A and B are shown apart, each in its own frame.
Chain A
């Protein structure tokens, strides 16, 4: 069983939900990325999404665009991201790491070379935002061959007839994009998301995480009542951006603790 599936199984047994923070590797620099990963795991993150910076982040709003630009300004590329994961694995053998980014850096490295290197570094899942299942066959083959879970998106515009198309290739968990828009956009409509998650249950056969519109502890708590995982991205990246030099790690850890306890309190009250 993959590290991702194992984490979800453990959480489910204890009636808990996964908290998945997103940060961009190399923002503000690679050393801080490593510190942030350990601090977030300590503060209650169950899985870490690590953004691979790309020059043309079409699915991202201004906050994550800027973080990508900060990382690129230092020349951070896919190989550096893998090196950070390998470094992280020296101390943390449990927390799954999912790379999130765009297809081109992976194409450039070559699917098989990438999958091999990612596995060696200790990567557990890969989400390429601009590679829908129809185009993903060769990539998923390479990932399966190296025991890495391909993560796929479902969106508010995905017709139910497509659920099986996505579910056939997806492993680990399904990432439900909670709104029509880019990362960090307007707040989400909780009732609407709940209905969609209900429609997916039983049809995708994997845990379902929700991301894109979760801006604070309160919305994380609301979503955790019906989703298996909550992904928080722009809010954390914003905290990194706003932190004075040297304070990003403490601020992010505090934010993770706050969201963690809101999620647990909400789910506890429900039980």
Chain B
């Protein structure tokens, strides 16, 4: 068995990761790494985190055997890890609870966050309300239009939502603006990054907070099926739900790991958000990783039906897992994701997030090629209530 103990001391996953930030943030990132390493070992911190995850978030999230859907597809058995049943409706809150507890211990009274779909913004606003912290959420002006219900949810929870009008006015620009805020208020502010990307220690820290998904799955699969799955499938935006599921299985090489990117209108159209499938390595938002960029090294605009996957980069650990061959990355189109969305609604009575529907869509392709004894575990990273206006709009309905 190969041991897997990345990142190294400086946050590198092979050539990826690291800490590519302006000098002003270096000290803050050192502090964060030191404090995180201390509390990761602290039984009291871990006990409080476990308590919050159980009583506030509602963990453990169940695993559900989607029997009708499996039969319909006529191949492998599909199990769903139900992160959609968490408080606030997605896996994002596993991470925001962890980071908010850390912010409190570091004496920071103000938290900031970037958001695309609004799920991480809502999860940040939620924990800020719960722990009495001031919260500012940066969101691209385009996404504010696409995700109006989540904008209002954040405001109800007491957060200020700042519209970002620069660049492509989406998630990557929101992240730029959050970084600019952080550099200006670095002494009082904790930046809650919402995915397993950004400068070290974020990719490691977010992975560790999300690893509860895979840890629970290891126990639950034994209880439910008597063994571990053959294949894990998760959608990949920045990569936090995927790395959370994968990381407790990394050393278990019998288990195949598949990350599903947003193929948009198809990889050949250029209108997608699939850097691992069609990008090249570069440096953005504090880390080296696969990026969608042009020949001049300018970051390209992305397209996906799902705002939460609409990001030109990806967490550095996924870049490493791709190159090392331990995980495989594929892309599915908007149309395939949408079909899987409708199938799950009709066959299982579950409305999945459009992000998660990408993982489901790949299960649709893979399951029929495997025999009935094989097990696929798909991370159902969030529920689809937030996407109802988008889906209705595609059917020509205005809600």
Contacts and interface: CB of A to CB of B under 8 A. Distances in A.
Contacts of B7: none
B40 to A, nearest CB: 22
Contact of B20 (A131, A155, A156, A182): A131
B186 interface: yes
B18 A130 contact: no
B296 A58 contact: no
A157 B167 contact: no
Interface in B23-63: 23-28
A189 interface: no
Nearest to A62: B166
Contacts of B20: 103, 130-132, 135
B107 interface: no
Contact of A181 (B176, B184, B293): B184
A77 B283 contact: no
A72 interface: yes
Contact of B186 (A69, A131, A180): A180
Interface residues of A, number: 43
A76 B10 CA distance: 34
A155 B286 CA distance: 17
A199 interface: no
Interface stretch (A10-18, A106-114, A221-229, A239-247): A106-114
B24 A106 contact: no
A70 to B, nearest CB: 13
A152 B23 CA distance: 9
B373 interface: no
A258 B266 CA distance: 56
B295 interface: yes
A270 interface: no
Contacts of B284: 56, 104
Contacts of A180: 24, 183-187
B26 A108 contact: no
A158 B26 contact: yes
B299 interface: yes
A53 to B, nearest CB: 8
A166 B281 CA distance: 26
Given A77-B298, A182-B180, A130 B21 contact: yes
Contacts of B299: 55-56, 104
Interface string A3-25: 00000000000000000000000
A106 B22 contact: no
B179 interface: yes
B180 A108 contact: no
A135 B298 contact: no
Interface in A154-195: 154-159, 162, 166, 177, 180-182, 185
B393 to A, nearest CB: 29
A255 to B, nearest CB: 25
A153 B166 contact: no
B122 to A, nearest CB: 24
Interface in A42-81: 54-59, 61-62, 65, 69, 72, 77-79
Interface in B270-326: 280-286, 288, 291, 293, 295-299
A79 B296 contact: yes
B172 interface: yes
Q: Which of B185, B187, B282 has the most CB of A within 10 A?
A: B282
Interface in B210-232: none
Contacts of B27: 157-159, 162
Contacts of A65: 166
Given A56-B167, A108-B293, A158 B23 contact: yes
B331 to A, nearest CB: 22
Q: Which of A79, A158, A177, A182 has the most CB of B within 10 A?
A: A182
A129 interface: yes
A84 B179 CA distance: 31
A72 B23 contact: no
A205 interface: no
A182 B182 CA distance: 10
Interface string A96-119: 000000111111110000000000
B358 interface: no
Contacts of A129: 22
Contacts of B26: 132, 134, 157-158, 162
A69 B21 contact: no
A213 B399 CA distance: 49
Nearest to A152: B23
B18 A135 contact: yes
A105 B23 contact: no
A117 to B, nearest CB: 13
A234 B298 CA distance: 22
Contact of B283 (A55, A69, A103): A103
Contact of B282 (A108, A156, A159, A177): A108
Contacts of A102: 283
B300 to A, nearest CB: 8
A54 B176 CA distance: 12
A134 B10 contact: yes
Contacts of B28: 157
Contacts of B297: 54, 77-78, 104-109
A200 B221 CA distance: 59
B328 to A, nearest CB: 26
Nearest to A101: B297
B10 to A, nearest CB: 6
Given A59-B22, A103-B283, 20 more contacts: A54-B298, A56-B176, A58-B176, A58-B179, A58-B285, A72-B298, A103-B20, A108-B296, A132-B20, A132-B21, A132-B22, A134-B26, A156-B24, A157-B24, A158-B26, A180-B186, A181-B24, A181-B180, A181-B184, A185-B184
16 contacts: A59-B183, A62-B166, A69-B166, A69-B167, A77-B295, A103-B20, A104-B297, A104-B299, A132-B20, A134-B19, A157-B27, A157-B28, A158-B26, A158-B27, A177-B23, A185-B184
